[in-house]
Amino acid sequence: MSRTPSGSTKRVVSSGSNQRLARRFFASALFLSAFLLASLVAAQGFPGGGMPGGSMGGGMMPGGGMGGPPPRTEKKKKEAPPPGTPEMHAASGADDSLSPPGSEPSLPEEPLKLKKPTFDKLGSDAEPEQVETGRAPTTKYHFYGPYFQENSGQYQFRLAFPVWAERTMPSRTKPLELDRASLFGGLYYNRRSAERADDILFPLFWNLRDKTSDSRTTIVGPFVNRSAPNEHDNWLAPLYFTGKRKTGGYTLIPPLLTYTNHDDQGGFSMVGPLFCSWKGGSNCDMRTAQDIDFGLAPLYFYGQNLKTKYEIIPPLLHYYRYNDRDLSWTNMWGPYFRRHTQKRDMFHLFPLYYSLWGQDERHTTVLPFFHYGYKGSSWLLATPLFVAARGDQGESTFATWLYARYRGRTELDMVTPLYWAYRDPDIGLDEKILFPFLYKRTSPRESSYAFFPFFGHFERFGVSESTWITPFFQHTTDLRGWQTNIHPLLYVGRNALDTHFVLAPIFWDFASPKSRATVAFPVFWRFSDEKEVTELVGNVYYHEKKLKNGLDWEIHIFPAFSYGETPNGHWWNVLYGLAGYTREGSMTKMRTLWIPIKLSD
């Protein structure tokens, strides 16, 4: 701490723990000024200052520049080996490279070493305009009531709150030229440097010039003008926006629903319902564009590219499409429809007339009178009274409302919808139906017939046979067993080793080699398998279970008495504990009034 000739206090601060003390001292006094000026200062060229913790400071913050650039670490030279170390030599004719002489790749001595400009940019996303220049390792602060001053090498920041603030430092690209940024009354901002020439009278006037890119932006109320090499923008918000670039430009006029945006590769234009979108070329021109769509929505639409073109006129129900790849096209005007492909042509007049033709074929329909078509040797004729057809293999079909006949590999006859006769000579199948009374099906593999609802017999020779007498009695046999049913009361049968017997709703019995379930409702229930047996007869319940060391079983006569034995003991109870006794090995206990009393361990 020292006195200046003017009597002010001067304090020299070095990097280290003294920063925290200075930060606490200045933070409370300058908090208001930092809060009001932070946004303008940071955005328009005050990237730092001496205010600790504020946007106008930065010099006192860790890494904020008070300590200057980090100390440069010199690369250590390779130490010489201790005296007496034997010198290593390669064997005669040895070579460290596997490549033939003269073809070795050339590498720098330190291929992973970064140059200083590259190293300075790594690990930082700071904008170049926000980097403070000219700072020294130490920073001096002067504080005189509303006046504050910060000096660090060639960097200086001065503040006379709330009327004036100024920051000076060397320009980023020309260190010998001064970079000065001043703020007057919080309304007028001025900056001059080798890179910038800015004037702002907030919020009426903005003039920002970037000398490095030779660009300028001027804002006066709703008017915006921006100019740069080979481009410019002019806006009168919110009525008019336009701009031009080296290869195109744009124009937007919201009140007129007008918009255009184009370059040398394509663009889009719209004026009310008129629109045009194109690719290839700088103008909406069918002669130069490779892909173009335009129209007057919703009345007219047209488009084309290197492969197809189309046209749509919704009010006239018109649609046209052409494909240059397969030379196909479609043309429709209201009920008129015409289509051409390499295989077929179509001509329709919706909804009455339909015509389709191609090589050795033609099909014509006139609704509701007839349809006629042929392809090769096959043909089809359909009228409201009958249908007649012939196939490529000589098969024929004739059908009317009461009679139908088909002759081909198979045969079918229909007389009224009630009688059907079907034959397949290849497999010897003959099938007849007189609905709903008679059904017969015979072939070398089966014989089935039914006289509904009295009798039915269905047999697949050597496989199964089933006989029905009325819908209630059924007897079936097959390779696995048999069953006899009188629906819905009696069901008896066998399936391999499984049997069943049901007399509904009183008796059920299902048995297999490993289990059995028998119920005589409601007095008898028995379920058993290889390990357990459970049985209930009236109020007597019995259960047994096979264990590794013996049999565990119990019997209950509800609710009076129960008794059971285990491989190492037995037990009994009267009224489930009014009196009882249990023994498990050497342990015994008794129950009196449902209270267990241990007699021995």
pLDDT digits (tens, 9 = 90+) for 134-159: 999 999 999 998 999 999 999 999 99
**Distance separating alpha carbons of residues 54 and 340, to the nearest angstrom:** 77
Residue 498 burial (CB < 10 Å; 0-12/13-18/19+)?
middle
pLDDT digits (tens, 9 = 90+) for 308-365: 999 999 999 999 999 999 999 999 999 999 999 999 999 999 999 999 999 999 999 9
Q: Give the tens place of pLDDT for each residue, 519-542.
A: 999 999 999 999 999 999 999 999
Q: How far apart are CA 13 and CA 151, in angstroms?
A: 11
Beta partners for residue 294, in sequence order: 276, 302
Residue 84: pLDDT over 90: no
- Buried (b) or exposed (e) across 349-381, using 16+ Cβ within 10 A? eeeeebebeeeeeebebeeeeebebeeeeebbe
pLDDT bin (cut points 50, 70, 90) of residue 100 is low
Q: Which domain holds residue 145?
A: 1-65+130-209
pLDDT at residue 577, rounded to an integer: 87
Distance separating alpha carbons of residues 383 and 211, to the nearest angstrom? 88
Q: pLDDT value at position 43?
A: 36
- Mean confidence (pLDDT) of the chain: 84
Q: Give Cα separations from 78 to 71, 75, 90, 300, 408 (angstroms).
A: 21, 9, 21, 82, 101
Average of pLDDT values for 552-557?
A: 94
Where do the H-state alpha helices sit in 1-76? 18-44
If you average pLDDT over residues 574-599, what whole number do you get?
90
Spatial distance between the Cα atoms of 474 and 456, rounded to a whole number of angstroms: 9
Query: What pLDDT does residue 104 have?
Result: 60
Assigned domain for 56 exists: yes
Give every CB contact of residue 521 below 8 A, 6+ residues apart in sequence.
505, 506, 507, 508
Query: Residue for token digits 């001292």?
Result: 25
- Cβ–Cβ under 8 Å, residues 375 and 360: yes
The string of pLDDT tens digits covering residues 40-80 is: 333 334 444 333 333 333 333 333 333 334 444 444 444 55
Cα–Cα nearest to 271, from 292, 251, 249, 300: 251
Assess contact for 138 and 152: CB atoms under 8 A.
Answer: yes
Q: At which residue do the structure tokens 């009920």 appear?
A: 335
SS3 of residue 133 by DSSP: coil
Which positions ≥6 away from 465 have C-beta within 8 Å? 457, 458, 459, 476, 477, 478
Evaluate whether residue 201 is within a structural domain.
Answer: yes
Tokens representing 601 are 């361990």
What is residue 16's predicted lDDT score, i.e. its pLDDT? 36
Matching residue, tokens 């460290």: 96
Beta partners for residue 189, in sequence order: 183, 200
Question: Is the Cβ–Cβ distance between 270 and 287 less than 8 Å?
Answer: no
Which of 540, 543, 590 is CA-nearest to residue 561? 540
Does residue 156 contact residue 48 with C-beta atoms inside 8 Å? no
pLDDT at 586: 87
Report if residue 134 sits inside a domain: yes
- How far apart, in whole angstroms, are the C-alpha atoms of residue 378 and residue 277? 50
Quickly tell me which residue has 């970037």 as its tokens. 210
pLDDT for the residue numbered 127 = 73
Average pLDDT over residues 464-484: 95
Instruction: Decide if 352 is inside a domain.
Output: no
Sheet strands (E) in 367-409: 370-375, 378-382, 386-390, 396-400, 403-407
In a domain, residue 46? The reply is yes
pLDDT surpassing 90 at residue 111: no
Q: Is residue 253 part of a domain?
A: no
pLDDT at position 81 is 55
- Domain assignment present for residue 47? The answer is yes
92 pLDDT higher than 50 = no
444-453 pLDDT, tens per residue? 999 999 999 9
Whether residue 439 has pLDDT greater than 70: yes
Closest CA to 467 of 383, 475, 140: 475
**Count of the separate structural domains present in the chain:** 1
Our measurement of the distance from residue 370's CA atom to the centroid of its chain's CA atoms, rounded to an integer in Å, reads 52
Average pLDDT over residues 499-521: 96
Written as one letter, the residue type at 74 is: E
What pLDDT does residue 69 have?
A: 40
Q: State pLDDT tens for residues 191-232.
A: 999 999 999 999 999 999 999 999 999 999 999 999 999 999
CB atoms within 10 A of CB 50: 31
- Tokens 């007028």 -> residue: 188
On whether the pTM is more than 0.75, the answer is no
In a domain, 294, yes or no: no
Unique residue bearing structure tokens 């663009």: 267
